[in-house]
Amino acid sequence: MPMWTCEFEPCKRPSVRTIGECVLCSRRLCSVHLQREYHHCPRWEDAEKYDPLAGEAEERELTALIGRVNTAALTARATQLRGGVPCSVPPLRYDRATRSSVMGGMNYHIIITFEDGIRWIARIRRLNSTSPPPVLRDYIVRSEVATLQFLERTSVPAPKVLDYALEGDGSPVGVGYILMEMLPGKSLRWAPQSQPAQKKIMDQLADIFIELSNYPFQHLGSLDLPGDLHVGPFARESLTDFDGPEMHAIGPLSSVEEYHTCWLRLILDLILREEMYSQRPLDAYLIHRFLLDLVPSVLPASAQEEKAFYLKHADDKGDHILVDDDLNITGIIDWEWAHTAPAAHAFNSPIAFLPVAHFYNGANTLGDEEVAFAEMLDAKGRGDLAGYVRSGRLQHRFAFCCGYDLEDWDGFLGLFRGLRDAVGVDDGLDWDEWKSRALDRYSEDSGLQTLLSREQTPVTSNGV
C-alpha cells in the first residue's frame, strides 16, 4: 500500500509523491491520472494561470483550517497554563496581505497575547494535498516538540515549548498544535546582508555549532519522545514508507552508510511502484542506482570510527534564523524534520552560505562565505568543525542529488556533473553519454529490467 492512493475515481493506483499532489484541485493522483489527458489544472511553470488559482486554493485551505480551530478552548488553555492571566487572539481570517507573517510552507501561526504583554504562538500544521497522512503528521509534531525540549537544555536560542496536542488525540482545540513562546526578532534574509553583517551572524552561528557539538547522540534519526533524549525513526515523509495504515519510517540507524543505503533503496522501490518520479522513471532509477554504488566513496573520512551524531536543522537556508535590529540572533526556529547526523553533515556549512550559481553549475570550489565560516571556526579553536566545512562540498552534492526534484532538470544536470567530478567517477561525461554507460552498467539489474519492459507496454487509454 502506498502513502496515498489516487483520488481519480475509481482508480486505486498509488498516488505519485510530489508531482502527483495538486493543491489546485486538492487531489493526489497516480502516474496515469496526473497526465494532461485526465488532469487539467495549469502547471506551476505557467505562472499567469497557476498563481491566481493557487491563491484561491490557499484561501480555501486556510479558511477551512481556521474554521476547525476552537479559539475559546485555545485561549482557555493558554490562560490556565499562565496561572489565570487572561489572553486573546485576533479574529482569525485568511488575509492575503498578511499571510506571510502568520504562515510558512507547512504551518500556520496564531499569535496569543496575554494581558501583561507576553505573547505566545500556536503552531498549527497546514493541511492540503501535499500533507503527509495523519499518523505521520502527528509523529512530525511530536518530534519537533522533543527537539525543542532538547534545545532548552543547551544554550542554543530556540522557542520554549509550553504545551502541545496531537491531532490524533482529539484535542479540544480542534487541531493539533504546539504552543511556544514568541521570540523577538525577524526572519533573516541572508543574501542581501552586507559582508560585515554576514560576519556578525556567522560568528554567532559558529558558537551555536560549537554548542551543539557538545551533545553527541548514539543513533541517527529524529528525537521522538517529548521530555526525553530518545532518538527514533526519521520524522520526514521522504524517509517514510507505508504499508496500509502502518507507517514504516527509516531509523534509528547506527551508521551514515546505512542511512544513505536505506534512503536510496526506498527511492528505488518507490520508483518501481510508481510512487515517485513517474514522469522520468528510467532516468531517476539510473541516477539513484548509481548513487547507491557511490555510497562508499562519499562517506566522510571520520564516519567509520565515529559513532557520535549531532542535531542538525533540516532547512538551514537562512530564514530559520531570527535576528533583532542589531543582527543579534534571537532564535533558531522551524525545527520540523530535524534529525541527528554525523559531524561531517551536522557541521557542514548551512545551505545559506553556498555559492548558489557556482554550485548549480557544477563547480566544486568553496564559496567566500563558506571559507569565512571555516576561518571563524578555526579562530575559535575548532579546527575539527572548520575541516567539515572545508571538505563539505561532496557531502552537499550527494545530499542534494538524492531525491532531487527532477522537474528542475537543468539544475539537476549541473549538480550531478559536479558530484561525478568530485568523486572522479564518470567525470566529464554529458548526460547522454552517462545514461548510455549506465544502461549498460546496470543491464543485469532486475529493477531496471522491469522499467524497460514497462516502457514497451504503455498503459491503455482508459487509464488502467
* Of 6, 19, 178, 253, the one binding Zn ion by CB under 5 A: 6
Strand ordering across the sheet containing 177-181: 87-88, 107-114, 119-125, 177-181, 161-165
Helical ranges in 188-255 per DSSP H: 195-212
322: β partners: 187, 331
Tell me how many residues contact Zn ion (CB under 5 A).
10
Shortest Cβ 410–Zn ion spacing (Å): 25
Identity at 61, one-letter amino acid code: E
Q: Which stretch binds Zn ion (CB under 5 A): 15-23, 102-110, 280-288, 425-433?
A: 15-23
* Of 3, 19, 22, 256, the one binding Zn ion by CB under 5 A: 22
* Of 13, 288, 320, 339, the one binding Zn ion by CB under 5 A: 13
- Under the binding rule (CB under 5 A), the answer on residue 8 touching Zn ion is yes
- DSSP assignment of 103-162, as one string? B-SSEEEEEEEETTS-EEEEEEE--STTSPPHHHHHHHHHHHHHHHHHHHTSSS--PPEE
- Under the binding rule (CB under 5 A), the answer on residue 156 touching Zn ion is no
Q: Which stretch binds Zn ion (CB under 5 A): 3-11, 186-194, 381-389, 410-418?
A: 3-11
- State the helix-helix crossing angle for 446-456 and 256-272, rounded to 10 degrees: 20
Question: Can you tell me the distance from the alpha carbon of 100 to that of 334, in angstroms, rounded to the nearest whole number?
Answer: 15
- Under the binding rule (CB under 5 A), the answer on residue 17 touching Zn ion is no
124: β partners: 108
Residue closer to Zn ion (CB basis): 32 or 298: 32
- Under the binding rule (CB under 5 A), the answer on residue 11 touching Zn ion is yes
According to DSSP, residue 245 is labeled: T
Residue closer to Zn ion (CB basis): 194 or 460: 460
Residue closer to Zn ion (CB basis): 38 or 114: 38
Shortest Cβ 13–Zn ion spacing (Å): 5
Any idea which residue has 551572524 for its cell? Answer: 201
- Which grid coordinates are listed for 97? 496581505
Interface mask toward Zn ion for 23-62; x: CB under 5 A: -xx----x--x-------x---------------------
Shortest Cβ 27–Zn ion spacing (Å): 6
Residue closer to Zn ion (CB basis): 4 or 434: 4
Question: Can you tell me the distance from the alpha carbon of 242 to that of 51, in angstroms, rounded to the nearest whole number?
Answer: 32
- Under the binding rule (CB under 5 A), the answer on residue 247 touching Zn ion is no
| Chain contacts with Zn ion (rule: CB under 5 A) | 6, 8, 11, 13, 22, 24-25, 30, 33, 41
